[in-house]
């Protein structure tokens, strides 16, 4: 059984650019959630995808968007990057569809916006 | 708006001692309460979790105590070891998302 993987590990962008982060869910999991973790804080929920549909969204602007593929892997896209977008972006996968089951996190992608 | 309040922000404990971290919540719809452990540069790893129909759950050296009426829950780490030095997050959920506390950095001194 493989765990949750994310790519890239680190990324440096400049303000105004766009970025795409990728996540492969744990084997057998059909739900992917994305979180933003600023330095020294707890993760904040961005959105969740279940069977390629957005299942819920946190308090993030529309320039944060996502996608889930038929193999349940997922992408997080952020447009018009701002300095405050610098954070660790975490992907978590779970099994069970609508409603929450145990979420398993990947190692994260560290995004730095200059 | 922090839906889960966690304290203390940091604590130092001697090897073999007990670490206690407390969390409080307001949303009575929360129905799942996990604790995560995070090491620097890594993603959070699930440590132990509890549902509100249970008042206590123990797994090895880790115990969750849950007080539904007070809307509080806590993590006890018994016989703390240097390898337990990490940041611990409580979380709560209903439906689809986890709401995390701000985290507690635990340092275990040998």
Pairwise CB contact (< 8 Å): A104 & B42: no
pLDDT grade for A101, boundaries at 50, 70 and 90:
low
Does B43 sit within 8 Å of A99, measured CB to CB? Answer: no
Which of B84, B101, B109 minimizes the C-alpha distance to B9? B101
| Amino acid B41: pLDDT | 86
Each residue of A84-97: pLDDT tens digit?
A: 999 999 999 988 65
Q: Which residue of B42, B89, B96 is in closest CB contact with A100?
A: B96
A43 contacts B44? CB cut-off 8 A: yes
- pLDDT of A63 reads 98
Evaluate if residue A100 carries a pLDDT over 60.
no
B contact test, residue of A42, A47, A60 with most B CBs within 10 A: A42
| pLDDT confidence band for A74 (50 / 70 / 90) | very high
**Which two tokens mark B77?**
């780490």
Among A42, A92, A99, beta carbon nearest to B103:
A42
CB contact under 8 A, A44 and B101: no
pLDDT at A98 over 70: no
Say which of A44, A48, A104 has its CB closest to residue B46.
A104
**Of B1 and A40, which is predicted with more confidence?**
A40
Q: Which residues in chain A are closer than 8 Å to B34, comparing Cβ atoms? A: 102-103
- Residue B96: predicted pLDDT: 74
* Residues of chain B numbered 85-104 and touching chain A (CB < 8 Å): 89, 91, 93-103
Give me the tens of pLDDT residue by residue for chain B, a chain 110 residues long. Answer: 679 999 999 999 999 999 999 999 999 999 999 999 999 989 999 999 999 899 999 999 999 999 999 999 999 999 999 999 999 999 999 877 899 999 999 999 99
User: Where are the extended beta strands (E) located within B3-96?
Assistant: 4-7, 10-14, 19-25, 33-38, 45-50, 56-59, 62-67, 72-77, 86-94
Neighbours of A80 (CB within 10 A): 11
User: In Å, how far are A108, B8, B89, B104 from B101, measured between CA atoms?
Assistant: 18, 11, 6, 9
pLDDT at A73 over 90: yes
B 21-40: CB under 8 A from A: 32, 34, 36
Task: Name the band, by pLDDT with cuts 50, 70 and 90, for residue A102.
Answer: confident
- A100 vs B36, B43, B93: nearest CB: B93
Q: How far is CA B19 from the centre of its chain?
A: 10
The CA distance from A57 to B18, in Å, is: 38
Q: What is the mean pLDDT of residues A31-48?
A: 95
Quick one: closest CA in B to A50, which residue? B96
Give A22's pLDDT tier (boundaries 50, 70, 90).
very high
Residue B79 gets the label, from left (phi > 0), alpha (psi -120 to 50) or beta, of left
Is residue A30's pLDDT more than 60?
Answer: yes
């Amino acid at each position: 059984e493989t765990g949750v993987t994310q790519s890239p590990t680190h990324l440096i962008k400049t303000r105004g650019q766009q970025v795409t982060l990728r996540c492969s869910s744990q084997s057998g999991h059909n739900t992917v959630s994305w979180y933003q973790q600023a330095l020294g804080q707890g993760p904040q929920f961005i959105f969740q995808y279940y069977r390629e549909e957005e299942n819920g969204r946190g308090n993030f602007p529309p320039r944060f968007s996502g996608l889930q593929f038929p193999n349940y892997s997922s992408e997080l896209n952020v447009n018009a990057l701002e300095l405050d977008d610098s954070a660790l972006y975490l992907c978590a996968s779970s099994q069970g569809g609508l409603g929450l089951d145990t979420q398993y996190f990947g190692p994260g992608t560290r995004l730095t916006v200059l | 708006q922090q839906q889960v309040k966690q304290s203390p922000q940091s604590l130092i404990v001697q090897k073999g001692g007990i670490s206690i971290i407390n969390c409080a919540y307001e949303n009575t719809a929360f129905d799942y309460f996990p604790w995560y452990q995070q090491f620097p540069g890594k993603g959070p790893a699930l440590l132990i979790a509890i549902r509100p129909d249970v008042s206590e759950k123990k797994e090895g050296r880790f115990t969750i105590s849950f007080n539904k009426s007070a809307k509080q829950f806590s993590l006890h780490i018994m016989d703390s070891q240097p390898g337990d030095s990490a940041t611990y997050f409580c979380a709560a959920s209903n439906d689809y998302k986890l709401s995390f506390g701000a985290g507690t950095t635990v340092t275990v001194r040998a």
